[in-house]
């Protein structure tokens, strides 16, 4: 019947229908206040789909575009324009007060700091890129730098806007938030899985993550997922001044935002909001595991910056977590790859939030003493998220007198070398350089998945190859011969060849993986990536001094010293050279990726003169972090002179050659307008 209506009318009808349906979606999924019945919605939806099919005109934000794409073969990768960070944790109000003090100290201010407080959703972080107002791509957080393209699945989440509504629409914006599943939906899904003989999800978070990482988006669509948006990455064509302003814009643009967001004037008010959120915890239809406190002003966020992988301007307060009670059967010492001997409690197995716990780290013997833990004690065990279970406290009332103290080991349980506890240190270390436990742990770490990823070099084979004298150091892996392996009891032609192939394959690696594999104390996966972003080649780190590393502002003293110590030891450099000679091919995509990121102060040269409220080094670091250059003397290449109190002769020189002179406040404003959320645009 529509065939005789003019094309323009059809187009208009399609547009109006899509708009109306999107509005009802928003009322239903975000405001939780529908104004039409489900039947009425379905009728309109069907009508729209028929028109689209018949006239071949489909809008990019049509609700029909949420479903129906064929399954993917695999997920493509997407690089985040701005890294997706994680959060530092606090477990008490006292730690939050300390956080506030740290913030004040860092920005040299004694005045109250304004914060926002939001619930911490226990789900999966994602990023959604909008171009010219339309949903363009969506990806998972991944390793913080690169995630997986899950665009189709995110489109299938009904509360995700396909188009940004409102008058102020940025040219491009990366919206960040948490995908989560309500407890009721989680239970429904597990019941359904049980009926189909499929394994149950352990918790709503795993269910949400599993649902969003589906190659077939119709599976995602069949599960009721939600989104809470709490931040942004890069943005182009718009500026925000505060977290609170951002949240309000998100709300107006019809994005789902956290169930509670409060803007407070000082840390004490933030503590009150935390209590409020904690009080609501059990009545919320979804799981939250804490609250997130963020410095409200974005220019202060910029100034505070990032340390390793966590911003200095935010912290997560974690609610007390799942606990259980059980008995310590034995305390055994366990030797790690750096020689540190850790006491581990063997427990009578106990189920805590769905997981059986039978071991718990006791960290060190000082901790055992502090908590007065004895073998045979009943203890409260806590399991928080992915963290290894730990002992919270001893239940002293249940002591019967047969408990025994946990003795400090005098020698290494594996190699028998002396175990020493340095004065002022808590760790007990095995001093045996060739301690098999350490050697094996280092080799195992080198070959592990996140490191060189050598399949077949797990615990058992490492132990065998090491005890047979074939590898005494991870450097020996690359000189292993098939003939040598074949002589070992467990290997046959095929398995020996497989191992050789896996070793060969691992030679093609990245600098970040390789640095992590080396097992340098304190250099974890993330720090290794930061190194790789800043140093092009492995050799660039040889004989480096710690100050040079500290120039990367995100790396603190501990990591810098440890890495410098490693790269200054002649025997380490020898091992590295011989490994490279065996055909290692190290590429560095992290460095390449960083080079491509445009920085707001790119190409700008700054000089500082006079007294400023913040240490000069900090200001220089901030400038360099934004891609600028801080130099000590004024020349015609200088773009800005930052003049503080009682400026020196640099001021006259700058005036005479026409260099722009700005105050410290002007610099802060420049940084604020380049707030952390709009880095990529200038």
Chain residues binding ligand IVH by CB under 6 A are: 85-87, 118, 120-121, 125, 141, 178, 230-231, 258, 292, 311, 314, 316
Nearer to ligand IVH, 250 or 564 (CB): 250
In the complex, minimum distance from the CB of residue 557 to ligand IVH, in angstroms, rounded to a whole number: 23
Nearer to ligand IVH, 315 or 328 (CB): 315
Residue 507 appears among annotated catalytic residues: no
Q: How far is CA 527 from the centre of its chain?
A: 12
Q: Which of 81, 120, 163, 318 is catalytic?
A: 120
Nearer to ligand IVH, 116 or 220 (CB): 116
Residue 417: CB atoms within 10 A of its CB come to 17
In the complex, minimum distance from the CB of residue 291 to ligand IVH, in angstroms, rounded to a whole number: 8
Closest CA to 263 of 296, 310, 233, 216: 296
- 3-state helix, strand, coil split of the chain in percent (to 5) is 40, 25, 35
Closest CA to 319 of 292, 286, 352, 284: 292
In the complex, minimum distance from the CB of residue 262 to ligand IVH, in angstroms, rounded to a whole number: 12
Residue pair 322/352 in contact by the 8 Å Cβ criterion = yes
Nearer to ligand IVH, 120 or 163 (CB): 120
The alpha carbon torsion through 273, 277, 279, 285 (nearest 10 deg) reads 160
Nearer to ligand IVH, 292 or 538 (CB): 292
Nearer to ligand IVH, 264 or 496 (CB): 264
Q: How far is CA 378 from the centre of its chain?
A: 35
Nearer to ligand IVH, 554 or 638 (CB): 554
In the complex, minimum distance from the CB of residue 283 to ligand IVH, in angstroms, rounded to a whole number: 18
Residue pair 318/92 in contact by the 8 Å Cβ criterion = no
Residue, CB closest to ligand IVH: 125
In the complex, minimum distance from the CB of residue 593 to ligand IVH, in angstroms, rounded to a whole number: 19
The alpha carbon torsion through 52, 56, 60, 66 (nearest 10 deg) reads 50
In the complex, minimum distance from the CB of residue 126 to ligand IVH, in angstroms, rounded to a whole number: 9
Which CA distances in Å does 223 have to 108, 152, 178, 343?
Answer: 49, 14, 16, 44
In the complex, minimum distance from the CB of residue 295 to ligand IVH, in angstroms, rounded to a whole number: 11
Q: Using DSSP, state whether 235 is helix, strand or coil.
A: strand
Q: Using DSSP, state whether 230 is helix, strand or coil.
A: strand
Q: What angle, 0 to 180 degrees and rounded to 10, lies between the N-to-C axes of helices 589-596 and 525-534?
A: 60
Residue pair 294/314 in contact by the 8 Å Cβ criterion = yes
The alpha carbon torsion through 455, 459, 461, 464 (nearest 10 deg) reads 160
CA angle 384, 515, 360 (to 5 degrees): 25
Catalytic residues, which ones?
120
């Amino acid at each position: 019947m529509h065939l005789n209506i003019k094309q323009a009318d059809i187009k208009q009808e399609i547009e109006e229908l899509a708009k109306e349906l999107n509005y009802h979606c928003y009322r239903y999924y975000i405001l939780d206040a529908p104004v039409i019945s489900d039947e009425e919605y379905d009728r309109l939806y069907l009508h729209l789909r028929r028109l689209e099919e018949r006239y071949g005109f489909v809008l990019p934000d049509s609700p029909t575009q949420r479903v129906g794409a064929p399954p993917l073969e695999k997920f493509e990768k997407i690089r985040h324009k701005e890294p997706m960070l994680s959060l530092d944790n606090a477990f008490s109000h006292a730690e939050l007060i300390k956080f506030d003090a740290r913030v004040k100290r860092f920005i040299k201010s004694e005045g109250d700091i304004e914060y926002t407080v939001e619930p911490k959703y226990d789900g999966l972080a994602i990023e959604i890129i909008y171009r010219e107002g339309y949903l363009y791509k969506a990806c998972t957080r991944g390793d913080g730098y690169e995630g997986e393209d899950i665009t189709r699945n995110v489109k299938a989440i009904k509360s995700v806007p396909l188009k940004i509504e409102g008058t102020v629409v940025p040219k491009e914006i990366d919206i960040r938030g948490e995908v989560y599943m309500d407890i009721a939906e989680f239970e429904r899904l597990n019941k359904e899985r049980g009926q189909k003989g499929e394994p149950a999800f352990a918790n709503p978070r795993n269910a949400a993550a599993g649902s969003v990482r589906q190659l077939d988006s119709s599976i995602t669509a069949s599960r009721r997922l939600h989104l809470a948006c709490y931040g942004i990455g890069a943005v182009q064509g718009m500026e925000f001044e505060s977290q609170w302003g951002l949240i309000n814009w998100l709300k107006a643009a019809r994005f789902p935002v956290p169930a509670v967001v409060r803007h407070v004037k000082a840390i004490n008010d933030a503590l009150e909001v935390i209590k409020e959120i904690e009080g609501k915890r059990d009545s919320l239809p979804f799981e939250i595991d804490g609250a997130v406190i963020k410095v409200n002003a974005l220019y202060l966020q910029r100034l505070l910056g990032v340390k390793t992988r966590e911003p200095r301007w935010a912290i997560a307060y974690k609610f007390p977590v799942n606990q259980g009670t059980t008995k310590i059967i034995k305390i055994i010492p366990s030797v790690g790859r750096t020689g540190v001997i850790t006491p581990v409690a063997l427990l009578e197995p106990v189920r805590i939030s769905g997981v059986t716990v039978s071991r718990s780290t006791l960290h060190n013997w000082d901790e055992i003493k502090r908590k007065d833990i004895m073998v045979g004690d009943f203890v409260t065990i806590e399991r928080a998220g992915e963290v290894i279970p730990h002992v919270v406290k001893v239940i002293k009332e249940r002591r019967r007198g047969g408990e025994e103290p946990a003795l400090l080991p005098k020698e290494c349980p594996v190699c028998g070398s002396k175990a020493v506890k340095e004065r002022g240190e808590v760790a007990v270390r095995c001093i045996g350089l060739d301690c098999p436990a350490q050697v094996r742990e280092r080799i195992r770490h080198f070959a592990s998945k996140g490191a060189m990823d050598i399949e077949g070099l797990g615990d058992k084979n490492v132990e065998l190859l090491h005890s047979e004298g074939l590898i005494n150091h991870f450097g020996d892996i690359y000189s292993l011969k098939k003939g040598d392996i074949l002589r070992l009891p467990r290997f046959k032609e095929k398995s020996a060849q497989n191992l050789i192939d896996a070793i060969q394959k691992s030679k093609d690696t990245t600098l970040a993986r390789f640095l992590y594999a080396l097992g340098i104390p304190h250099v974890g996966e993330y720090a290794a990536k930061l190194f790789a972003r800043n140093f092009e080649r492995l050799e660039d780190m040889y004989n480096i001094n710690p100050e040079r590393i500290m120039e990367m502002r995100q790396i603190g003293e501990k990591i810098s010293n440890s890495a410098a110590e490693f790269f200054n030891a002649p025997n380490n450099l020898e091992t590295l050279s011989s490994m490279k000679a065996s055909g290692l091919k190290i590429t560095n995509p992290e460095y390449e990726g960083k080079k491509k990121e445009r920085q707001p102060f790119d190409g700008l040269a700054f000089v500082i003169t006079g007294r400023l409220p913040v240490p000069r080094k900090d200001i220089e670091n901030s400038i360099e972090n934004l891609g600028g250059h801080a130099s000590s003397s004024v020349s015609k290449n200088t773009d800005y002179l930052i003049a503080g109190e009682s400026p020196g002769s640099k001021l006259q020189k700058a005036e005479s050659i026409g260099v722009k002179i700005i105050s410290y406040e002007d610099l802060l404003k420049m940084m604020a307008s380049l707030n952390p959320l709009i880095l990529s645009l200038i």
